Amino acid sequence: MNYHLILTRRCNLNCSYCHGGEAVGPESEIQYSLDELASFLNKDSNVQLMLYGGEPTLRIPLLRRLMDRFPNARFMLQTNGLLLNRIPLKYLSRFHSILVSIDGREHITDGYRSKGVYQKVLENVRWIKRTGYNGDIVARMAVSQESDIYSEVNHLINLKNPTFDHVHWQLNVVWDAENNWIDFDRWVEDSYNPGISRLVADWVTKMREGKIEGIVPFKPLVYTLLTGDSSVLRCGSGIDTFAIHANGNIGVCPISPDWDFSIVGNIRETKPSELKEVMHVDEPCPSCNEYGICGGRCLFANKERLWGEEGFRKVCSTVKYLISVLRDQIPTIRSLIEKGCISLEEFRYPEYNNGCEIIP
């Protein structure tokens, strides 16, 4: 199973859409021993650990101890990228995937995350490349009202020094809509949906040259549309992916440690076998025509609906639009596969659940 392992709830940034840097006190740090963690994980025959925070690279000694203690686990890392160059190379090389937070162009990234962050992140990703790291480096964007999805994704996918293997984004639509957005409806109509249409059109055009760009929300959805293989919740929350919080509680999602519904066990008392398929999305998702493609988008949003029912539907409309634009291109993509320009297998992503939720 996949476990987001919260190394600390502290963060060295205070991004405008997150406020993660505010976590303080003893409850921000892990309150269990590695022996207790091992006792839990040893009951699982296929362990994948996504090191997560807060900011996990604030706890590099702990990171090293974990990787030494669990030599057979598969490791992933989700980080803001500011301290990447402090990870010793023998540990860095063991990460299957590294998700680095960067929100697009420099003024967008720094506007959300703090001045100088963009350049520091790129500097550290260049350093990773120089070390010979050959895992998957993902630019992971948070998209909010100042973002232009077409410009931000294009910027990151076309960078040359450094390059990112994949680009993924999440819409800033979990928390308070009124404080996060001036006019969400107008932004979707005038900016986001048109940007998605342009991105998909460009993406398919490049396939004619034999190139499938690593735009994460596109690849697995097209694979499903081509094969008909339906998907449940693509992030895996509550199914085979869980979070181990700092106090040892096990949650269905790393973003919701303080929500009672999401806590489904504790490493001291629960067996991994008791977690699998413990929670699924509620209606209206399972009855939606696009459920087999979308999978339900977000378990936390489905359960809590902090934007209300109307807001929930508005966010769903962005997903339905994305699917419709990709579906329109399926005849062209299928034709390119038949001609040998590209292959079906190139759309199969990710190899392992790497923390990309797939659905924005």
For the ranges 102-106, 196-200, 260-264, the lowest mean pLDDT is seen at 260-264
21 pLDDT higher than 60: no
> What mean pLDDT comes out for the span 183-205?
97
Mean pLDDT of 185-199: 97
pLDDT at 180: 80
What is the tens place of the pLDDT at every residue in 22-32? 555 567 899 99
Q: Using CA of residue 131, residue 134, residue 135, residue 136, what is the dihedral sign?
A: positive
Residue 257: pLDDT band (50, 70, 90) is: confident
Residue with tokens 């301290």: 83
Q: Kindly list the strands in the beta sheet with 263-266, ordered across the sheet, starting from the edge strand earlier in the chain.
A: 166-171, 136-143, 95-101, 74-79, 48-52, 2-6, 241-244, 249-251, 263-266
Q: Which amino acid is at 80?
A: N
Query: What confidence tier does 179 reach under pLDDT thresholds 50, 70, 90?
Result: confident
Average pLDDT over residues 330-346: 98
Let me know if 5 is exposed, middle or buried by CB neighbors in 10 A (0-12, 13-18, 19+): buried
What pLDDT is recorded for position 256? 81
- State the pLDDT at residue 22: 53
Query: Residue 189: exposed, middle, or buried by beta-carbon count in 10 A (0-12, 13-18, 19+)?
Result: exposed
In tens, the pLDDT along 58-112 reads: 999 999 999 999 999 999 999 999 999 999 999 999 999 999 999 999 999 999 9
- Quickly list DSSP for 8-27: BS--S---TTT-GGG--SGG
pLDDT above 60 (res 19): no
Token output for 314:
């508005």
Average pLDDT, stretch 310-326? 97
240-246: average pLDDT: 97
Query: What percent of the chain shows pLDDT beyond 70?
Result: 98
For the beta carbon of residue 117, count every other beta carbon within 10 angstroms: 22
Residue 157: name the closest of 132, 139, 143 by CA.
139
Give the mean pLDDT of 112-122: 97
Backbone dihedral angles phi then psi of residue 170, each to the nearest 5 degrees: -125, 135
Residue-wise pLDDT for 133-169, tens only, equals 999 999 999 999 999 999 999 999 999 999 999 999 9
Mean of the per-residue pLDDT values of the chain: 95
Residue 45: which residues within 8 A CB-CB, separation 6 or more? none
Q: DSSP state, 268?
A: T
pLDDT, average across residues 225-237? 96
Q: pLDDT grade, residue 8 (50/70/90)?
A: very high
The predicted structure's pLDDT at residue 26: 62
User: Could you give the domains of the chain?
Assistant: 2-216+237-279 (3.20.20.70)
